[in-house]
Amino acid sequence: MYKFFKEQLDSKIENHNLRTLREYCPLDAVRVKRDDKEYLMMASNNYLGLTFDTRVIEGALKGAQQYGTGSGGSRLVSGTFPLFTELERSLAKFKNTEKALVFNTGYMANVGTISAVADKNTIIFSDALNHASIIDGCRLSRGTVKTYSHCDIDELKYLLKQVDRNTRKLIVTDGVFSMDGDIAPLDKLYELSRDYNALLMVDDAHATGTIGNGHGTAAYFGLEKEVDIQLGTLSKSLGSVGGYVAANSTIIDYLVNTSRSFIFSTALSPADIGAALAALQVLETDASVLARLHENVNYMADQLISMGIDATNETPIFPILIGRNEDTLAVSDYLYEDGIIGTAIRPPTVPIGESRIRLTVTAAHNKEQIDYVCQSLQNAMKQL
């Protein structure tokens, strides 16, 4: 019975593609400890460094003290406590939409939204580098998926042209691409969506708290009122866990009634929601946090560029393209020996032959730490 699984695992070992869990003890937003050694975290999505912010911790504590540790049921049955309403109102205001709806994770938000909005008669146009949760949402919808090459507007236009105007259509894209750190051309996607009568959905998991003055991709392009569905997560810049969709009332009311990952799962705990709400308030009221992130992004980009690495994007995600799995693991191991966590990202997360170290910088890093990482990376690359 177990032979199949064993063979699959053996083949992953052979291809340098086995994944294992490592236990770390977080010390603060950027440092972790393992076996009495400290490591610098360069692989998290905690872009604003808010997971250890006292205001956010206070929000989590208050949530648990006021409403208990668990929500007790699905949002529609027993789980909508007042913090949910407050967070959804705040998210809608933040994203400049009529309403917002919180899901348990960003993954569940994508899966539950796409499978509700699209059905077997819908054609979904999806960027080739979209996140796995978008891909899984497309699969669950049973719609026809047409994948266009990464950010290729001409190809998308060509594909849209083939489809009857009255056929239901959805264009879906990451706002900031998770493994590449580049920004989707949302202005051009919006134009196409109106020309060809398609809904437009953007996944702002990595864009919220990083671009558009922290408000995300639609804000970056001045299209907050225009984009039909703005999806995001509470788990990255907002230092908690959970996902959300911001849209007009029709879309949100429709999701409440039809989105299976929303309906059939126990709601997040009051501590999660309390933390997210506090983090959102920090982002909106304390400009110094975002300013520190931008300063660190620019500093790290300059350092990498001076090493001859293409680091021209405006986001905290720096993909260091290596290619082969074994070389990527060697660089990751070298960094690890130097006390740096820079995870090797391999297929299927990225295409075969495009394995990379995905370094991320946050508002909580300092310049000496960034210098140290860049120096170690340079040494690691020399070993190849």
Using CB under 6 A, count the residues that bind ligand PLP.
14
Q: Which stretch binds ligand PLP (CB under 6 A): 105-113, 153-161, 296-304, 359-367?
A: 105-113
28: nearest Cα among 174, 320, 239: 239
Residue 169 or 206: the one with the smaller Cβ distance to ligand PLP is 206
199: nearest Cα among 113, 129, 128, 263: 113
* Distance of alpha carbon 129 from alpha carbon 351, whole angstroms: 9
Q: Closest residue (Cβ) to ligand PLP? A: 106
- Our answer to whether residue 178 is catalytic in this structure is yes
Task: Candidates 46, 71, 110, 369: give the one binding ligand PLP (CB under 6 A).
Answer: 110
Instruction: Tell me the pairing of strands 123-127 and 169-174.
Output: parallel
Task: Candidates 49, 63, 106, 342: give the one binding ligand PLP (CB under 6 A).
Answer: 106
Task: Candidates 127, 174, 182, 272: give the one binding ligand PLP (CB under 6 A).
Answer: 174
Q: Which helix (H) or strand (E) holds 135?
A: helix 132-141
DSSP secondary structure, 321-355, as one string: EEESHHHHHHHHHHHHHTTEE-PEE-TTSS-TT-E
Dig out the tokens for 250 from the structure. Answer: 């029709």
Q: Which stretch binds ligand PLP (CB under 6 A): 31-39, 61-69, 100-108, 157-165?
A: 100-108
- Which 54-83 positions form the footprint of ligand PLP (CB under 6 A)? none
Q: Please tell me whether residue 209 binds ligand PLP under the rule CB under 6 A.
A: no
- Which 222-261 positions form the footprint of ligand PLP (CB under 6 A)? 233, 235, 243
The site string for ligand PLP over 128-167 (x = CB under 6 A, - otherwise) reads ---x-x----------------------------------
Residue 131 or 346: the one with the smaller Cβ distance to ligand PLP is 131
Burial class of residue 348 (count of CB atoms within 10 Å of its CB; 0-12, 13-18, 19+): exposed
DSSP secondary structure, 27-45, as one string: -SSSEEEETTEEEEE-S--
8 A C-beta contact, residue 208 and residue 47: no
> Does a cis peptide bond (omega within 30 degrees of 0) precede residue 82?
no
- In whole angstroms, the minimum distance from the beta carbon of 355 to ligand PLP comes to 17
Q: Which stretch binds ligand PLP (CB under 6 A): 31-39, 79-87, 99-107, 155-163?
A: 99-107
Active site residues per annotation:
178, 206, 236
Interface ranges with ligand PLP (CB under 6 A): 105-107, 110, 131, 133, 174, 178, 203, 205-206, 233, 235, 243
